[in-house]
């Protein structure tokens, strides 16, 4: 082999020799490539066979938990888990980390920086490891190489399989030091700890609301954008959350996989199942620091807190009314659209909400499964029984911060607050008069209508069929209450200014006796 020293002092290979060498290098590269390809194939096979032929020396062993490491740096990093040393602190929120790399990743939650992008779907990541990118790409390929030998379910990641297997073994290695609750995943414990510390590191840039989990912030952002990426393939209904789509699909399948071992009742959702189980156990882990009320689920606890804070993040763009829950805003919007998609097959009456239809159906069946143990009275709804019990206990959990008055029902409390605010969101389109409640507006509209109801026994007139029926009970002794007749009259025939004023006054005076037509009683 010949080397030549050039004019500028560098050494180069003789051209003839170089060509020969390049030819040999090409053959060598082909050989190396074949060996690598063969090796990769063997490695892939070991993923399925679980074969692990190589045993690595791990001289660095933790005396506290017995875990071993090959490198001293990894061992030192691990020891900080036990010592609690977290030298790297975020200057924005004060959160500390064991590793500088973890701090760097965390800081991107504040800056919103996502420098890594998937070429197939455009999804961006704030930090990435080759394994994480590979896992994400399996969403596109559908590859799930890790299979559970007990139930046959497959997973894209080995860690997901490991976590899943704990469902079969019942193993929950991660325990909360504050309340003793155990979890199958370290991340679940970490998230749970925030219920005790109150830490909410993820903040919405649009409304300022903070969250304990990054996924909760991502889902919340959809309330601002209106994005609903999860669509039902059967009815094309879309949802903001994957969990809501999964829950919805069970409407089509009728699937109820969660069965109570105590009473045999089945449930579509795990949350409903957990809530039901506590009827038997009486366990309530989440307690309100302001009023002392305890809750079974963290979601119920958070919802309850809004009573004290008065926080209403969800605003109607049409009338400006605000709500504490997204579900309440969704329900309210139907007041404007008039949408009533849920129809009773027995009488044809339609409802804006499925829950109202279910409640209505019990009028036909007469079903009242919820009984008061104190007085024996039965109810169609569990919530109605809960409210009824307060007549025995005298409990009034809803208190007005302005005047101190307390209420047994949330609907009565909401109605009362309008006395202070003067809020009258329901306006009559014909005369412009406004009302605090939808039921009063509905009744008021009938003062514009000239179709009245007359009692055929005593010829007395009534504005509504309900009032006529109530009046006819006075004639029950004469057995004449079936002679109801609906007629149409001219204003000159029966309506006088005095009669009209009396009717409107009666409507307003009866306001306190009616149920709220827009919001359900109780929380």
- What is the per-residue pLDDT across 257-275, written as a single tens digit (0 to 9) for each? 888 888 888 887 777 887 7
The answer to whether 248 and 157 have CB atoms below 8 angstroms apart is no
Q: Where do the structural domains in the chain lie, given as residue ranges?
A: 86-128
Coil/strand/helix, residue 335: helix
Helices 438-445 & 497-509 angle (0-180, nearest 10): 160
Average pLDDT over residues 242-252: 81
What the block records as the tokens of 165 is 């297997």
pLDDT at 163: 86
Helix or strand holding residue 55 (H, E): none
By C-alpha distance, which of 110, 142, 108, 149 is closest to 127? 108
Pairing state between β 146-147 and 154-155: antiparallel
Domain covering 86-128 assigned CATH 3.40.50.300 in the classification: no
The alpha helices in 406-514, defined as continuous H runs, are 410-421, 438-445, 465-472, 491-494, 497-509
Average pLDDT over residues 276-295: 77
Average pLDDT over residues 174-192: 85
Q: Is the pLDDT of residue 365 over 50?
A: yes
- 33-61 in b/e burial notation, b at 16+ Cβ within 10 A? eeeeeeeeeeeeeeeeeeeeeeeeeeebe
Q: Is the pLDDT of residue 519 over 50?
A: no
Write down the mean pLDDT value for the chain.
74
Q: Is the pLDDT of residue 95 over 80?
A: yes
CA–CA separation, 332 and 516 (whole Å): 12
The answer to whether 342 and 350 have CB atoms below 8 angstroms apart is yes
By C-alpha distance, which of 522, 206, 513 is closest to 379? 522
Q: Which of 341-350, 432-441, 495-504 has the lowest mean pLDDT?
A: 495-504
Average pLDDT over residues 452-481: 75
**Whole-model pTM over 0.85:** no
21-66 confidence digits (pLDDT tens): 555 555 545 554 555 556 556 656 666 666 666 566 778 888 877 7
Radius of gyration of the chain (CA): 34
191-205 confidence digits (pLDDT tens): 888 888 888 888 888
* Cα end-to-end distance, the chain, whole Å: 88
Average pLDDT over residues 318-329: 79
pLDDT at 375: 92
397-420 confidence digits (pLDDT tens): 888 888 888 888 888 888 888 888
The answer to whether 388 and 372 have CB atoms below 8 angstroms apart is yes
Q: What percent of the chain has pLDDT over 70?
A: 77
pLDDT at 134: 73
Average pLDDT over residues 307-316: 75
The answer to whether 161 and 148 have CB atoms below 8 angstroms apart is yes
Q: Which of 120-134, 243-257, 493-507 has the lowest mean pLDDT?
A: 493-507
More confidently predicted of 379 and 279: 379
Extended strands (E) in 66-222: 68-69, 88-89, 96-97, 116-117, 124-125, 146-147, 154-155, 174-175, 182-183, 202-203, 210-211
Q: Which of 158-167, 436-445, 458-467 has the lowest mean pLDDT?
A: 458-467
Average pLDDT over residues 351-356: 80
Average pLDDT over residues 224-234: 84
């Amino acid at each position: 082999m010949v080397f030549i020293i050039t004019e500028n002092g560098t050494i180069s290979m003789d051209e003839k020799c170089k060509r020969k060498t390049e030819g040999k290098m090409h053959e060598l590269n082909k050989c190396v490539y074949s060996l690598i390809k063969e090796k990769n194939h063997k490695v892939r096979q070991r993923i399925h066979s679980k074969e692990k032929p190589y045993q690595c020396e791990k001289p660095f062993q933790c005396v506290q938990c017995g875990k071993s490491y090959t490198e001293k740096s990894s061992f030192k990093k691990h020891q900080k888990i036990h010592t609690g040393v977290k030298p790297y602190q975020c200057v924005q929120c004060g959160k500390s980390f064991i590793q500088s790399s973890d701090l760097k990743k965390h800081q991107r939650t504040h800056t919103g920086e996502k420098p890594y992008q998937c070429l197939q779907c455009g999804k961006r990541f704030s930090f990435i490891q080759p394994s994480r990118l590979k896992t994400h790409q399996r969403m596109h390929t559908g590859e799930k190489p890790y299979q559970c030998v007990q139930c046959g379910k497959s997973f894209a990641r080995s860690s997901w399989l490991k976590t899943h297997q704990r469902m079969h073994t019942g193993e929950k290695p991660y325990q909360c030091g504050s309340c003793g609750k155990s979890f199958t995943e370290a991340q679940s414990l970490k998230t749970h700890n925030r219920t005790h510390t109150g830490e909410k590191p993820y903040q919405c840039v649009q409304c300022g609301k903070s969250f304990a989990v990054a996924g909760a912030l991502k889902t919340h952002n959809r309330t601002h954008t209106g994005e609903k990426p999860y669509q039902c393939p059967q009815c094309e209904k879309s949802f903001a959350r994957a969990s809501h789509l999964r829950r919805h699909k069970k409407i089509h399948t009728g699937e109820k996989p969660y069965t109570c071992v105590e009473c045999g009742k089945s449930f579509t959702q795990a949350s409903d199942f957990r809530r039901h189980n506590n009827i038997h156990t009486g366990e309530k882990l989440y307690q309100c620091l302001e009023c002392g009320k305890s809750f079974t689920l963290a979601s119920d606890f958070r919802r309850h807190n809004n009573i004290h804070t008065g926080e209403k993040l969800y605003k109607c763009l049409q009338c400006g009314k605000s709500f504490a829950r997204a579900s309440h805003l969704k329900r309210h919007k139907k007041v404007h659209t008039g949408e009533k998609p849920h129809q009773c097959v027995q009488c044809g009456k339609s409802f804006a909400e499925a829950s109202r239809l279910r409640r209505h159906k019990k009028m036909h069946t007469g079903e009242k499964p919820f009984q008061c143990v104190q007085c024996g009275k039965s109810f169609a709804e569990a919530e109605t029984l809960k409210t009824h019990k307060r007549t025995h206990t005298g409990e009034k959990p809803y208190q007005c911060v302005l005047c101190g008055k307390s209420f047994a029902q949330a609907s009565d409390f909401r109605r009362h607050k309008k006395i202070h605010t003067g809020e009258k969101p329901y306006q009559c389109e014909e005369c412009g008069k406004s009302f605090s409640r939808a039921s009063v507006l509905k009744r008021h509209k009938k003062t514009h209508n000239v179709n009245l109801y007359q009692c055929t026994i005593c010829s007395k007139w009534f504005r509504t069929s309900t009032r006529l029926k109530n009046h006819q009970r006075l004639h029950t002794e004469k057995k004449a209450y079936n002679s109801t007749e609906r007629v149409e009259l001219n204003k000159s025939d029966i309506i006088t200014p005095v009669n009209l004023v009396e009717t409107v006054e009666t409507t307003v005076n009866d306001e306190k006796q009616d149920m709220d037509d827009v919001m359900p009683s109780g929380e």
